[in-house]
A and B are shown apart, each in its own frame.
Chain A
């Protein structure tokens, strides 16, 4: 079973249960049936968006920069450029 199939099945199952609840076939309390249940898919979408934001934001915060690797890379680029210039290749 591929990952897409797994996600699709989970989606279909959750959607089916939600539809059952909307049709009134599940034993839900009055408040839940009227106010909480219809908002559940929206909660899922909002949670997904918020999760994406949190993930990106957190990784941006904890990303470690390595200055030594940066200098080493710039030096290697410079050496490569000089080398190519000697060999009559048009570099900046």
Chain B
């Protein structure tokens, strides 16, 4: 059963990876050259979001990582201070 669970996770990751890659590549490289009236434009949000969404996710991610790091360091600092008193 663990084997099936692993394979399911792997399939999901693979699907997410391919979808994100193709969608974002088309969004940034192809859509700017498509006229505003073509129906394919309806599948993609405006170009502003093509930059806003990854930047936002990056900022949140980096903040989360640094926040977690500082939290852990503060905790271990407090523990060291407690031990020495």
Contacts and interface: CB of A to CB of B under 8 A. Distances in A.
Tell me whether A and B are bound partners.
yes
Contact of B13 (A36, A38, A60): A60
Contacts of B10: 56-61, 63
B69 interface: no
Contact of B17 (A39, A43, A53): A53
A59 B6 CA distance: 10
Interface string A22-44: 00000000011011101110110
The 4 closest A-B pairs by CB, nearest first: A60-B10, A57-B13, A53-B17, A57-B14
Interface in A45-77: 45-47, 49-54, 56-61, 63, 65
Contacts of A32: 32
Interface string B1-42: 001001101111111111011001100110011000000000
Interface residues of A, number: 27
B58 interface: yes
Given A50-B24, A60-B6, 9 more contacts: A31-B33, A35-B47, A39-B28, A51-B17, A52-B17, A53-B17, A56-B10, A60-B7, A60-B13
Interface of B: 3, 6-7, 9-18, 20-21, 24-25, 28-29, 32-33, 47, 50-51, 54-55, 58
Nearest to B50: A39
Contacts of B12: 57
B21 A61 contact: no
B32 to A, nearest CB: 4
Contact of A45 (B9, B16, B54): B54
